[in-house]
């Protein structure tokens, strides 16, 4: 009797979920482990990032470096063994920074002439020849700028609202401050300002200015606009409290050139059973010109390439097509993303999901999903595959700028989630260099994308 009871308990244990049937209950577990092992051992994404950043560097749309990056991307996709590699033409803007970027307080009774560290905002017009000198008026918001009225006429408007350090996540902090950079110049121009200074979009206190695109409003005079380092922003604010008639001299020499033909770079692994259904992995190939564009978005580019390489190298045969898209012109126009969406509509491409990496090559913590709750739940059921690297937080809220034009077609938007506390230390600045990227963190992000792409290509949504 004792033996029969023991045998009965043994059978129950073997049949219990998560014990005897663990392998059956958790499909793709071994595949996920193999993908992660291969990524960490080979460190291919890290080597690719070194190529992209050290051999090509900053890749602003329209530049020779952007053209070189397109060819690099095409050749690198081919080396992965992708079943198909092709270029998608797109006309992109061509803005050139120019050699002159200087500013200084010129009449401080306390300090005399004080140099300020600036960089032109992307798309800014130049100052007049020889620069401009004007009094500075400080505001904390677009509403405050609008309310200045005649008080702003002939002056430099200084937007000084910092990113909110109290927020636990840095992207909402960025979103809460970036309107000053994007719309601030035109809002100031409407009330007669002659130029704009904007506190850099970073939580870090340093002397490195961070650029980024602005958008001039139609029918509003275009005035020069520059980012001011956070340390100099603090200094200027403190001086203005004591000397409200402080004057600043600015000189910048950016210029616009005619649009340039460029390309999105596309590589794919063709699905074995449903090739017409596509799982898209996306990142943007262009970057700002101040540094190497390592985190923004070289990291995402090599993660997309490495995800395809891992799947191909390991001999995996996805049922649906996995397509990697390296978009051009995310930083100052989004024309690559718009062109891809237009082609998708015309050619009838059917995307079941789109996953973007554009938050830097930091430690992955999961995947955000913008889709109906039922789809979020369906995707989240695979979170156990990422638990072994603590990247299993799959929940509501995700996507990316380049894949966003596909949303109108009902495509679920996914975004790689990472630990983002350091991202805006480097974002859009001269600090965004290869040495800031940790190889293990980068490779784990690539593995996360490969696992998600493969399981979605196998099982659908």
Distance CA 254, CA 273 (A): 52
pLDDT score of 13: 40
Q: Which residues contact 219 (CB under 8 A, 6 or more apart)?
A: none
pLDDT at residue 11 above 50? no
CA nearest 401: which of 196, 188, 228, 178? 178
Q: Residue range 405-413: average pLDDT? A: 97
Q: Which residues contact 56 (CB under 8 A, 6 or more apart)?
A: 65, 68, 69, 72
pLDDT score of 18: 36
pLDDT score of 16: 40
What is the number of H-type helices and E-type strands within the chain? Answer: 14, 16
pLDDT at residue 263 above 60? yes
The mean predicted confidence, pLDDT, of the chain is 95
pLDDT at residue 245 above 70? yes
- Give residue 25's pLDDT band: very low, low, confident or very high (50, 70, 90): confident
Strand bridging mode 350-356 / 274-284: parallel
* pTM of the shown model: 0.93
In the DSSP assignment, the letter for residue 53 is I
Active site residues: 330
Based on its alpha-carbon atoms, the radius of gyration of the chain, rounded to whole angstroms, reads 25
Cα-Cα-Cα-Cα dihedral of 193, 195, 201, 204, to 10°? Answer: -110
Q: Residue range 366-392: average pLDDT? A: 98
> Residue-wise over 151-186: b if at least 16 C-beta within 10 A, else e?
ebeebbbbbbbbbeeeeeebeebbeebbebbbbbbb
pLDDT score of 8: 42
Q: Residue range 226-230: average pLDDT? A: 98
**Structural domains of the chain, ranges and CATH numbers in brackets:** 24-95+258-459 (3.40.630.10), 102-253 (3.50.30.30)
Q: Residue range 47-63: average pLDDT? A: 98
């Amino acid at each position: 009797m004792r033996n029969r009871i023991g045998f009965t308990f043994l059978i129950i244990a073997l049949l219990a979920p998560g014990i005897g049937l663990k392998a059956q209950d958790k499909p793709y577990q071994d595949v996920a482990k193999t993908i992660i092992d291969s990524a960490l051992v080979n460190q291919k994404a890290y080597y690719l990032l070194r190529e992209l950043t050290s051999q090509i560097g900053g890749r602003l749309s329209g530049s020779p470096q952007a053209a070189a990056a397109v060819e690099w991307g095409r050749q690198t996709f081919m080396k992965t063994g992708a079943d198909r590699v092709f270029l998608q033409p797109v006309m992109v803007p061509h803005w050139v920074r120019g050699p002159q970027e200087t500013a200084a307080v010129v009449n401080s009774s306390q300090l005399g002439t004080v140099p300020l560290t600036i960089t032109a905002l992307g798309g800014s017009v130049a100052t007049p020849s020889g620069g401009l000198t004007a009094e500075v008026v400080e505001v904390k918001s677009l509403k405050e700028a609008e309310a200045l009225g005649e008080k702003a006429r002939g002056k430099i408007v200084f937007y000084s609202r910092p990113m909110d350090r109290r927020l636990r996540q840095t992207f909402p902090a960025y979103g809460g401050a970036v309107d000053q950079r994007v719309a601030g110049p035109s809002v100031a121009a409407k009330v007669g300002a002659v130029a704009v200074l904007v506190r850099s979009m970073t939580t870090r206190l340093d002397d490195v200015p961070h650029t980024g695109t602005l958008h001039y409003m139609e029918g509003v005079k275009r005035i020069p606009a520059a980012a001011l380092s956070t340390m100099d922003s603090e200094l200027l604010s403190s001086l203005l409290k004591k000397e409200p008639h402080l004057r600043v001299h600015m000189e910048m020499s950016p210029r616009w050139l005619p649009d340039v033909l460029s390309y999105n770079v596309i590589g794919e692994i063709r699905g074995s059973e449903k090739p017409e259904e596509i799982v898209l992995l996306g990142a943007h190939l262009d970057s700002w010109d101040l540094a190497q564009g390592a985190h923004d978005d070289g990291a995402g580019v090599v993660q997309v390439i490495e995800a395809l390489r891992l799947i191909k190298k390991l001999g995996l045969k996805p049922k649906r097509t996995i397509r990697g898209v390296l978009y051009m012109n995310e930083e100052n126009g989004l024309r690559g993303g718009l062109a891809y969406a237009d082609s998708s509509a015309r050619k009838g491409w059917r995307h079941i999901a789109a996953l973007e990496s554009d938050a830097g090559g930091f430690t992955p913590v999961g995947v955000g999903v913008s889709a109906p709750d039922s789809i979020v739940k369906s995707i989240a059921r695979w979170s156990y595959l990422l638990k072994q690297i603590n990247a299993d937080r799959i929940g509501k809220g995700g996507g990316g700028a380049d894949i966003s034009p596909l949303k109108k077609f009902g495509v679920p938007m996914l975004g790689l989630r990472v630990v983002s506390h350091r991202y805006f230390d480097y974002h859009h600045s001269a600090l965004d260099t290869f040495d800031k990227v940790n190889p293990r963190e980068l490779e784990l992000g690539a593995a996360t994308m490969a696992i998600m792409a493969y399981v979605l290509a196998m099982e659908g949504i």
